[in-house]
Amino acid sequence: MDWNDPEFDALIDEYVRSGRRPSLEGLDESAREEAEALLRVAELVWEQGHGAPPLEADPVAAALGLVPDPKTMLEPRALKSAMAKAGLQASEVARQLKAREWTVETRDVFAWTTKGRPDVPPALIRAVADVVGTSETKLSGERRPTPFELAVRDVVQTPAFESLAERWAHLHRTTLASARTLLAARMPAAAHRGDHPDTNQMLASLETLVTVLESDSGHDQES
């Protein structure tokens, strides 16, 4: 998913306006993983400005366990071990979850067994635990912020980022709140994958991005 893709803007904008994660069902596995990373950045920005992610704006969903807990993740090794002990393949786990009206594909279950997933809500973890014959507690683990997420938190608290967000809001004729989130969500694209850039590096990347867009906008107005 390219940072300049209109679908990218629509995805983040829907999240900012509604306070709920947009559906990612229409995306392939690679695009879904990218979208999840971008939405996580959006959550981090919201947390810095409001103290809680917008997902919690729906207390009923939160009470039902349908809101992902940013401090908890589905433990891949625990799930893989439980499935092996129960003699269940990923396809069978997905089938049983679908029977419980969860939208889960075999590829999703396989992904859960290979890497930790913070986007799996507690209610789904409970359903998975029931299917594989274990407890929610045994499948859940503490999720610690990655170095990249810590860097994002540092960046969005700087006056330089706020200035860039104001320029972004003016450029795209959007609210400052939306501008902060939309700009911060560009950080994974602005940074080199695999690296954990420091605050100055990330700000420099965003400064370049905004400057280029301002220049392009100026040229469009002249033509």
Instruction: Determine the Cα–Cα distance for residues 167 and 171; give it in Å rounded to an integer.
Output: 6
Please indicate, yes or no, if residue 77 is contained in any of the structural domains.
yes
Token digits of residue 162: 């706020």
Please indicate, yes or no, if residue 121 is contained in any of the structural domains.
yes
**Could you give the C-alpha distances from 217 to 197, 212, 213, in angstroms and in order?**
28, 9, 6
What's the pTM value of the predicted model, to 2 decimals? 0.56
pLDDT score of 210? 92
Domain that holds residue 153: 147-217
Structural domain count, the chain:
2
**Residue 40, SS3?**
helix
Find the angle CA(216)-CA(181)-CA(45) to the nearest 5 degrees.
145
- Secondary structure in 3-state letters for 55-81: HHHCHHHHHCCCCCCCCEEECHHHHHH
Same domain, 125 and 181: no
Walking along the chain (223 residues) 10 residues at a time, the average pLDDT comes out as 59 68 71 73 66 49 55 89 96 94 88 79 90 93 76 87 92 81 74 63 88 79 58
Find the angle CA(2)-CA(202)-CA(53) to the nearest 5 degrees.
75
**Could you give the C-alpha distances from 191 to 32, 85, 118, 129, in angstroms and in order?**
19, 41, 22, 37
